[in-house]
Homo-oligomer: A and B are copies of this chain.
Amino acid sequence: MEQYIKTYKEQLQKLKAYEYAIWLMGWDKETETPIQGYAYQDEQFGVLAEAAYNLESDPKYIEAIEHLYEHINELEDPDFQVEIKKAKKSLRIVQKVPKDEYLAYQMLVQTAMPIWVNAKKNNDFKAFAPTLEKVVAFQRKLVKYLETDELKGYDVLLDFYEDGMGVKEYDQFFNTIKEQLVPFVQEVTKTNLRFPKRLRTGPFPIDKQKELANYLMAVFHYDLEKGLLKESAHPFTSGVTSTDTRITTHYHEDDIKSSIFSVIHEMGHGIYEQQNDEKYDDTALHGGTTLGIHESQSRMFENMIGRSFAFWEVHYPKLLELFPKQLKHVSLVEFYKFINEAKRSLIRIEADELTYSLHILVRYEIERALISGHLKVMDLPKRWNYLYSKYVGKRPKNDSEGILQDIHWAHGSIGYFPTYALGSAYAAQIYDAMNKDLNVETVIRTNQIALINHWLKEHIHKYAASKSAKEIMMIATGKPFDPQYYIDYLKRKFSNL
């Protein structure tokens, strides 16, 4: 037993070095690799990914995991039991998927990004379609390789990102949204609000926006000894340990909302991992437990805290100080309405809190049909545009603002999108529970977000990936997940607005 534990831990330590290198290459690619440096980086990625695969498929490592899994009840440390269960599940890949196919697929998604970027820039779906065909073909094969009695079809992919959520569970969730939210949204977004042009378009000087970002990092206690804020085309969070979790944003001179809410959003992700218990850094349990729980943290920060009236009661003066001319005739109430403006829009990452999950609903239905084979890649633009009309109430004029807008499928991430909507729904339930321990509105208004961070640390963050999403919801809220909190929260907030 001791020997198997030793073998497992030694091999994992090696594997984590490769994961680190690959993580860093990804971070570099997204934030600064010179464009002509991609090809060489991709080659080196291929070598390291294969070396990592060889470690994962090493018979000694597999034997150790199999043995430990068979004797899991003899392991004293419950965290280590969880780790072994996850390791056992991960073996699926090396045991069931042919090595060549798997590595070829990794190279495919490693090199797909610039193809997607160009297709989007040139509004040319046909330029991206062959790559997407290959991604979908592999994902469909992957489903076949990994199907079990419990996980069928699209379930297999959904399960990668959100353990415990399959088509059955998501159908229930999205049906609630369709039934209760779609009519409400259509009502709320019938008319558009009017705001001063200067508020909509600025200009808001970039250096002032950067100053604001620094201010917000201090307000939220994002730890700059364990992370950093950088710029990238699309904001994201990328962490490797509790001691190194980095975030990005982008600045647009004509848009004050974009950088504010992307910084706050990414801090939700970043603080989650910075507050993971350090003891997990060297294990397979570092990170968020699922993407849905991860997204619940970023959505709570962004929407429930960052877009609350209480937040701007205390921080609007800072905004006035930085942008005195731009905000001269804008009252706090008007600003609050502006940052919560709900409207029928086409771009997911710019969508407001109320309509956001309808953008996800579109993607969920499309992915399900793609994986089942009911929808062909070539028919995607048409279906996309139809579903946007149906659920969001607005039809894209071209593919750049339609089917080509998101990078996820180029990354090979099918089954990922639904966690975005789920995260918002988790957030509402967690926020409700937190309110039983803290008067959150008062905490926000008195600029004591450290108290919120502490609550989240104790109820969610410190556990890292050692608890499942279901367990986290029980620990944090005392109840299983219930989407009604989300619906009620949105109806309450947007009825008042």
Report which A residues bind B (CB closer than 8 A): 13-14, 16-18, 20-21, 24-25, 28, 32-37, 39-41, 43-48, 51, 207, 223-228, 230, 240-241, 243-244, 246, 281
Contacts and interface: CB of A to CB of B under 8 A. Distances in A.
B230 A40 contact: no
A156 to B, nearest CB: 31
Contact of A243 (B25, B36, B225, B246): B36
Contact of A20 (B17, B39, B44): B44
A47 B246 contact: no
Chain A binding surface, main DSSP class: helix
13 contacts: A13-B43, A17-B44, A17-B47, A21-B21, A24-B25, A32-B228, A33-B244, A34-B244, A35-B225, A36-B226, A37-B243, A39-B243, A40-B281
* Closest 8 pairs between A and B when the two form their complex, measured CB to CB: A37-B244, A17-B47, A21-B21, A36-B243, A20-B44, A17-B44, A36-B226, A36-B225
Contacts of A13: 43, 47
B47 A14 contact: yes
Contacts of A241: 37, 40
Contacts of A44: 16-17, 20-21
Q: Which of A16, A40, A51, A224 has the most CB of B within 10 A?
A: A40
Contacts of A227: 34
Given A17-B44, A28-B24, A34 B246 contact: yes
Contacts of A243: 34, 36-37, 39-40
B225 A34 contact: yes
B17 A48 contact: yes
Q: Which of A18, A20, A46, A225 has the most CB of B within 10 A?
A: A20
A130 B243 CA distance: 27
Given A34-B243, A37-B226, 15 more contacts: A13-B43, A16-B47, A17-B48, A20-B41, A24-B28, A34-B225, A34-B227, A35-B225, A36-B223, A36-B226, A37-B240, A37-B243, A40-B240, A40-B244, A40-B281
B228 A34 contact: yes
A485 to B, nearest CB: 35
A24 B14 CA distance: 18
B41 A244 contact: yes
Given A240-B40, A244-B41, A48 B34 contact: no
B225 A32 contact: no
Contacts of A244: 33-34, 36-37, 40-41
Contacts of A39: 243
Q: Which of A16, A43, A246 has the most CB of B within 10 A?
A: A43
Q: Which of A39, A41, A230, A244 has the most CB of B within 10 A?
A: A244
A442 B35 CA distance: 34
Contact of A226 (B18, B24, B25, B34): B34
